[in-house]
Amino acid sequence: MKSLFLVVLLTLSACSSVTKDDSSRPSAIISGVRVASLNYRIEGGKTLNDIFNHLEPFVAEAVKNKAKYILIPELIVLDLFSVNPEEEEVRKELDKTALLAQDYLSRLTNIAAKYDVSIIGASYIVKKGNHFINRAVYIRPGEAPLFQDKVHPTPWEIRYGFKGSGGIQEFSSKDFNFAILICHDAEFPGVSTSLIFKRPEVLFVPSQTDDVLGFNRVLYTSSARAIEHMAYVVMTGTSSLKDAPWHTYEGRNVFLRPQNKYFPQGYEKSSLEEELSYYDLDLSKLRESRRDLKQVYPARDFKRL
């Protein structure tokens, strides 16, 4: 009998442990506010119907696993591009994609309402005059969408007519306040400085990076943002088929915490494959750590100068 009890005890102990390989699996007990993060795979040659037929099951799965928010990567609408457009055709592809902006936004809004979930990120292409804007969303169920435009376009975006727009917005949900840094925006110290007086508790970084170099740039600077603002950072990206003819994407779901005694050290990341990851944000612990004046909190300390 004692041997049987020991086996059961060891089994339960093993099941309760968490490794990085299990980071994408929803835990049995939610210890905070659950956020889902989607690594979306881009293949090209898709229609808007294809994109939403592919996307909606992930949203349904996230809600089934008790997620209240889902982060979707930057520019999944590039899945609308031809599989291998010629260089001179890219601008035309952008124009065609921009024509679908309102339809895309309406469908996202409908999904948020249908599943009673908040959608964050999921940036798309808006045409304004002769240039394009990379626009992310914050969609609350049953409410009008709010927007965050990319402040700092990448060299690729600038080459094809994108312009930056405005600054970083402050968003509030019933659970936490947050900001959205679209990929490249996470890399700018000036953007981080602009957040000091907003005091975001969560930073969402929807990204799209072509290779490991781009992924690491966004990862390392997002890590700095988590420390500077003593905030949770949820980052995601797009993935692709290996040796895709037009573009390959190096994207992962990543979860970064403030690095102090209140939190586990290091970070969690998913594989390079398309998948959902789940992160439970303990806001009580975050707020307790911010009240602890013995902890390094650069955004707070900056205000003392």
Residue 161, pLDDT > 90, answer yes
- In percent, the amount of the chain with pLDDT more than 90 equals 71
Q: How confident is the model at residue 12 (pLDDT cuts 50, 70, 90)?
A: very low
What's the CATH superfamily of 32-281+294-303? Carbon-nitrogen hydrolase (3.60.110.10)
Q: Name the pLDDT band for 301 (thresholds 50, 70, 90).
A: confident
CA 145 to CA 142: how far, in whole Å? Answer: 9
Q: Which residues contact 177 (CB under 8 A, 6 or more apart)?
A: 170, 171, 198, 199, 200, 201, 202
Least confident of 99-103, 253-257, 269-273: 269-273
pLDDT at residue 8 in the model: 33
User: What pLDDT is stored for residue 31 in this prediction?
Assistant: 62
Residue range 93-107: mean pLDDT, rounded: 96
- Apex 208 CA angle, 151 and 109, nearest 5: 75
In this prediction, residue 272 carries a pLDDT of 84
Closest-CA residue to 209 (of 180, 232, 235) = 235
Burial 6-36 (b: 16+ CB within 10 A, else e): eeeeeeeeeeeeeeeeebbebeeeeebbbbb
Residue predicted with more confidence, 137 or 302: 137
How confident is the model at residue 13, as a pLDDT? 37
Name the DSSP class of 46: -
Given this model, what pLDDT does residue 26 score? 57
DSSP-derived secondary structure for 130-189: TEEEEEEEEE-TTS--EEEE-SS--HHHHHTTB---S----EE-SS-EEEE--GGGGG-H
- Alpha-carbon distance of 237 to 305, in angstroms, equals 37
Phi-psi region at 149: left, alpha or beta (left = phi > 0; alpha = psi -120 to 50): beta
Q: For position 240, what pLDDT does the model report?
A: 82
Give the confidence band of 64 by pLDDT, cuts at 50, 70, 90: very high
- The structural domains of the chain, with segments of one domain joined by +, span 32-281+294-303
